[in-house]
């Protein structure tokens, strides 16, 4: 069946390990049901626009157009004949069809596209690996466990592409993963944030955007803004309301350092594009020389170099030891969060066993985030930090 005119359901996808963060974010805008790979989000018409604009760890937002029960493949074709596409496709608009089908008798993607071209009377092409960008709208058909769903891709490009990270340095980090790391680490915007291995600046730039309440989707456009229903969804009004919430400055210091001058140059340019360069302090220093530089403790965070991409594995032991000494000397009383490619490195780089470990994925590489809570003198946790 389709959606009521005053109600929508969307599927929101996130990276592995960030489901709890996505659920907490999404509860502010609608009713949340955790599902494999993300969440189902129910709410008033237009909630797909809110989800795309404000959810920091969302990778994709898919507007459900139709869901129905099926027992055999002809049921799928019959159900798709009644699909209402006028809100998301203009007359004669072509569409890219992405499929995830587990049902005997299903035609190959090319044959299915030809069938639906006749049924919907518009050009339909099967999705390819290089698709996902450009002007064509994208629909997704999923058939599994006796249920079929047809959805429209709200974003077009994946949502981690905020528009400001046009350059990267070593061990790049998706913006969505950076936002998730900060949330899992307990980042509080009114306390200092420090990254002693900032690279191209993704973690501290995301931190500055969070601290200033800049919605992640304000700097880009979405495929859904070209839909026939876009004016009714009031994208302009939603953006204006979000801009009115932006703080003029960050409430606490945000500092990044790196030994690589080229990486710092990239960080400055990325921060300028994101509109937060004035909110950051960037310094050239290796981890052995990094200092807290803040009168009050906060969060020190870092995406450490991975042996598979940056240095030989044997070079990482000395790096981790130097970082551990710096954290113990300069950042006593701070909460700490380190992202690494090997769980065995956490105690070595963090100076002791972390209080919490989160298993995540960065660019297809399994990684782990270790979080050390702030300590008072004597080793007890510091409340409220």
Specify if 226 maps to a domain.
no
Q: Are 117 and 187 found together in one domain?
A: no
151, 139 Cβ separation under 8 angstroms: yes
What pLDDT is stored for residue 294 in this prediction? Answer: 74
> Does position 151 have pLDDT exceeding 50, yes or no?
yes
Q: Are 145 and 114 found together in one domain?
A: yes
Condensed to tens digits (0 to 9), the pLDDT of residues 310-352 reads 445 667 899 999 999 999 999 999 999 999 999 999 999 999 9
Q: Are 144 and 180 found together in one domain?
A: no
Condensed to tens digits (0 to 9), the pLDDT of residues 162-200 reads 988 876 666 679 999 999 999 999 999 999 999 999 999
Q: Are 180 and 315 found together in one domain?
A: yes
Q: Are 182 and 273 found together in one domain?
A: yes
Condensed to tens digits (0 to 9), the pLDDT of residues 73-130 reads 999 999 999 999 999 999 889 999 999 999 999 999 999 999 999 999 999 999 986 5
Q: What count of other Cβ atoms lies within 10 Å of the Cβ of residue 133?
A: 12
What does the alpha-carbon distance between residue 268 and residue 276 come to, in Å, rounded to a whole number? 9
Specify if 22 maps to a domain.
yes
Total domain count for the chain? 2
What pLDDT is stored for residue 283 in this prediction? Answer: 95
> Does position 234 have pLDDT exceeding 80, yes or no?
yes
Segment among 2-6, 159-163, 198-202, 241-245 with least mean pLDDT: 2-6
Q: Are 101 and 179 found together in one domain?
A: no
What pLDDT is stored for residue 2 in this prediction? Answer: 47
What pLDDT is stored for residue 384 in this prediction? Answer: 33
Specify if 385 maps to a domain.
no
> Does position 383 have pLDDT exceeding 50, yes or no?
no
Specify if 383 maps to a domain.
no
Specify if 277 maps to a domain.
yes
* Pairwise pLDDT comparison (379 vs 77), residue with the higher score: 77
- Three-class secondary structure assignment of 180-247: HHHHHCCCCCCCCEEECCCCCCHHHHHHHHHHCCCCCCCCCCCHHHHCCCHHHHCHHHHHHHHHCCCC
Q: Are 75 and 128 found together in one domain?
A: yes
What pLDDT is stored for residue 136 in this prediction? Answer: 73
The CATH number covering residue 36 comes to 3.30.2130.30
The CATH number covering residue 367 comes to 3.40.50.150
Q: Are 194 and 88 found together in one domain?
A: no
Specify if 57 maps to a domain.
yes
What pLDDT is stored for residue 309 in this prediction? Answer: 47
Q: Are 118 and 197 found together in one domain?
A: no
> Does position 227 have pLDDT exceeding 80, yes or no?
yes
The DSSP code for 350 is: H
Condensed to tens digits (0 to 9), the pLDDT of residues 256-313 reads 999 999 999 999 999 999 999 999 999 999 998 888 877 789 999 999 988 654 445 6
What pLDDT is stored for residue 6 in this prediction? Answer: 83
Q: Locate tokens 């900032």: which residue?
A: 198
What is the mean predicted confidence (pLDDT) over 225-250?
96
What does the alpha-carbon distance between residue 9 and residue 246 come to, in Å, rounded to a whole number? 28
Q: What is the mean pLDDT of the chain?
A: 90
> Does position 135 have pLDDT exceeding 90, yes or no?
no
Q: Are 126 and 266 found together in one domain?
A: no
Selection from 14, 385, 347 nearest residue 179 by Cα: 14
Host domain of residue 143: 7-153
Q: What is the pTM of this model?
A: 0.91
Specify if 224 maps to a domain.
no
Q: Are 196 and 337 found together in one domain?
A: yes
Q: Are 180 and 323 found together in one domain?
A: yes
With H, G, I as helix, E, B as strand and everything else as coil, classify residue 178: helix
Specify if 234 maps to a domain.
no
């Amino acid at each position: 069946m389709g959606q009521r005119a005053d109600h929508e359901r969307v599927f929101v996808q996130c990276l592995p390990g960030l489901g709890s963060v996505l659920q907490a974010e999404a509860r502010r805008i609608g009713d949340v049901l955790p599902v494999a790979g993300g969440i189902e989000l129910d709410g008033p018409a237009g909630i797909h626009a809110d989800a795309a604009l404000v959810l920091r760890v969302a990778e994709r937002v898919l507007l459900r157009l139709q869901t129905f029960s099926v027992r055999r493949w002809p049921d799928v074709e019959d159900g798709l004949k009644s699909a209402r596409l006028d809100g998301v496709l203009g007359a004669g608009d072509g569409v890219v069809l992405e499929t995830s089908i587990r049902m005997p008798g299903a035609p190959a993607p090319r044959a299915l596209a030809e069938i639906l071209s006749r049924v919907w009377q518009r050009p339909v092409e099967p999705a390819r690996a290089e698709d996902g960008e450009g002007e064509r709208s994208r629909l997704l058909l999923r058939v599994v466990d006796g249920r079929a769903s047809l959805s429209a891709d709200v974003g077009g490009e994946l949502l981690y592409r905020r528009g400001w990270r046009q350059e990267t340095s070593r061990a790049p980090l998706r913006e969505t993963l950076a936002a998730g790391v900060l949330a899992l680490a307990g980042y509080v915007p009114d306390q200092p944030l420090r990254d002693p291995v900032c690279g191209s600046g993704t973690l501290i730039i995301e931190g500055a955007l969070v601290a200033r309440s800049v919605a992640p989707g304000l700097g880009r456009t979405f495929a859904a803004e070209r839909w026939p229903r876009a004016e009714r969804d009031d994208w302009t009004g939603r953006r204006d309301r979000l801009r009115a919430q932006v703080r003029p400055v960050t409430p606490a210091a945000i500092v990044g350092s790196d030994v690589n001058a080229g990486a710092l140059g990239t960080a400055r340019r990325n921060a300028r594009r994101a509109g937060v360069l004035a909110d950051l302090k960037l310094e050239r220093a290796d981890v052995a020389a990094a200092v807290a530089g803040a009168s009050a403790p906060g969060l020190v965070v870092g995406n450490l170099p991975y042996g598979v991409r940056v240095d030989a594995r044997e070079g990482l032991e000395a790096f981790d030891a130097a970082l551990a000494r710096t954290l113990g000397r300069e950042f006593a009383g701070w909460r700490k969060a380190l992202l690494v490619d090997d769980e065995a490195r956490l105690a070595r780089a963090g100076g002791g066993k972390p209080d919490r470990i989160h298993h995540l994925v960065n660019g297809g590489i399994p990684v782990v985030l270790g979080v050390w809570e702030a300590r008072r003198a004597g080793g007890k946790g510091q409340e409220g930090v």
